[in-house]
Copies of this chain bind each other. A is one copy, B any other.
Amino acid sequence: MTHDLSTYRYLVVTEGQFGPLTSKTANSAVRFIPDRVVCVLDSTQAGRTVQDVLGFGGALPVVGTVEEGLRLEPTALLVGIAPQGGGLPEAWRPMLRSAIAAGLHIVSGLHLHLGDDPELARLAAEHGVRIHDLRKPPADLPVSQGKARLIDAYSVLTVGTDCNIGKMTAGLHIRDALTERRVRVGFAATGQTGILIEGWGIAVDAVVADFIGGAAERLVLQAAEGNDVVLVEGQGSLVHPGYSGVTLGLLHGSMPDAMILCHQPTRGCPYGGGNAYSWMPLPSVEEMIRICEGAIAPLRPSKVIGVSLVTFDMDEDAARAEIDRIAQVTGLPVTDPVRFGAGPLAEAIQRGADAKRSARAGSAPAAV
């Protein structure tokens, strides 16, 4: 709940880890709030541009030291990684010290709260800067009671065959496409990057396990206020051996009217921990649709109404062929929202929202 975030200009630290697959938080900042990023700090890539490293991001510079970055007048340092497990690399501490001493606020999505680090907290107090721990949950979360099923707005959760497979990205592109269509959209951010972008939210993977659903419920109720559609940022996957608990809690707490399934055709096994999950094949899109719809069926009916693909590692013909194939097999709209636009998914959601509004109007007591 840190709306201040929207005014910060970031020096983004990824030291030694800047790359298309390794610096998720940094990469999302570059993609979604480029106007608020002044540079990336990574001494192993200094002198290149962000475009050189990521394939997007344009002329944003990669710098080698905090001092070099300060010349670009950032107002905050953003920790640009979100490692499995979640602590601060000790080698980064001197950079954070220098940044605080130079008056930069600190923004972090690490599991380990930097505000609880005695040295950093003391330094921040001395220099009058704030430490924002994006993953620090509210202290008063409820246990979910299914209230999110009762909202007037049409709610859509992004789900996936895996973690790190475009659930937030799809949601943000769909949000923009719906906004263009003059649909009023609330985005319920559930991860550190979504919170960074939106300025509010709860990192559901960081709450105490009993309150995953309660966090999701609270987010949906809040995002529904004054909106026609709520897009809930999904997390993990119902089949990911490490993160599935978060995913099911989020599904049952958010009680979505519908789901958008995210998938990467080239991915063979769950993401994370090197080859930790190479023993397990990912389900197909059709199987995953059955798994997602089946997982919420005992609570309420909810359908997957579209498929969002990640195809950056396929040539365009192959990507289009795969989109056609999945559309054929599932009978659903399919797109890669980054590459081909989110239009088909936004349209499916708009149709769903219209149908829900009509159904509720029809079942409401008639005005005299």
Nearest neighbor of A139 in chain B, beta-carbon distance: B112
Does A20 sit within 8 A of B, measured CB to CB?
no
Q: Which residue of B lies closest to A147 (CB)?
A: B276
Output the least CB separation between A362 and chain B (Å).
21
Enumerate chain B residues within 8 angstroms of A246, measured Cβ to Cβ.
209-210, 212, 245, 249
Please name all residues of chain B whose beta carbon is closer than 8 Å to the beta carbon of A249 when the two chains form the complex. Answer: 209, 244-246, 248
Closest to A84 in B: B143
Query: A241-B299, A244-B252, A248-B245 known; A210 and B111 CB under 8 Å?
Result: yes
State the copy count for this chain: 2
A16 CB–B CB distance under 8 Å = no
How far, in whole Å, are A239 and B146 apart by their CA atoms in the complex? 12
Measured CA separation A213–B85 after assembly (Å): 12
Instruction: Flag if A245 contacts B212 (CB, 8 Å).
Output: yes
Contacting pair A214 B242 (CB below 8 A):
yes
A299 to chain B, nearest CB (A): 6
With known contacts A111-B210, A280-B299, A143–B245 Cβ distance under 8 A: no
Q: A213-B245, A245-B250 are in contact. Are A277 and B208 (CB under 8 A)?
A: no
From 114 to 160 in chain A, residues with beta carbon under 8 angstroms from any chain B beta carbon are: 142-146
* Residue A188, interface by CB 8 Å: no
Contacting pair A208 B209 (CB below 8 A): yes
| Nearest residue, chain B, Cβ from A272 | B143
CB-based contact A248/B244 at 8 Å: yes
A72-109 contact mask (Cβ, 8 Å, vs B): 1 or 0: 00000000000011100000000000000000000000
Q: Is the CB of A205 within 8 A of B213?
A: no
Question: Shortest distance in angstroms between A57's beta carbon and chain B's nearest beta carbon?
Answer: 28
Q: Does A33 contact B (CB under 8 A)?
A: no
| Set B111, B253, B294, B295: member contacting A241, Cβ < 8 A | B253
Let me know if A298 is at the binding interface, CB within 8 A. yes
Give which listed residue, B241, B255, B287, contacts A144 with CB less than 8 A: B241
Q: Assess whether A206 is interfacial by the CB under 8 Å rule.
A: yes
Interface string of A248-264 (1 = CB under 8 A from B): 11101101000000000
Q: Does A238 contact B (CB under 8 A)?
A: yes
**In the complex, which residues of chain B have a beta carbon less than 8 angstroms from the beta carbon of A273?**
143, 145
Bound-complex Cα distance A214 to B206 (A): 14
- What's the minimum C-beta distance from A69 to chain B, rounded to whole angstroms? 30
**What separation, in Å, do the CA atoms of A204 and B245 have in the docked complex?**
11
Q: Which residue of B lies closest to A239 (CB)?
A: B298
Structural contact, B210 and A208, CB atoms closer than 8 A: no
Inter-subunit contact B85/A245 (CB<8 Å): no
Across the interface, do B277 and A145 meet the contact criterion of CB distance under 8 Å?
Answer: yes
Residue A207 interfacial (CB < 8 Å): yes
A243 at the interface (CB under 8 A from B): yes
Q: How far is it, in angstroms, between the C-alpha of A144 and the C-alpha of B84 when the chains are bound?
A: 11
The chain B residue with its CB closest to the CB of A149 is B279
Contacts of A298 in B (CB 8 A): 239, 280, 283, 287, 291
CB–CB A242/B299 < 8 A: no
Residues of B within 8 A of A244 (CB): 213, 248-249, 252
Whether A209 contacts B213 by the Cβ 8 Å rule is no
Which among A84, A247, A280, A298 has the greatest number of chain B C-beta atoms within 10 A? A298
Q: How far is the CB of A71 from chain B (nearest CB, A)?
A: 37
Residues of B within 8 A of A291 (CB): 294, 298
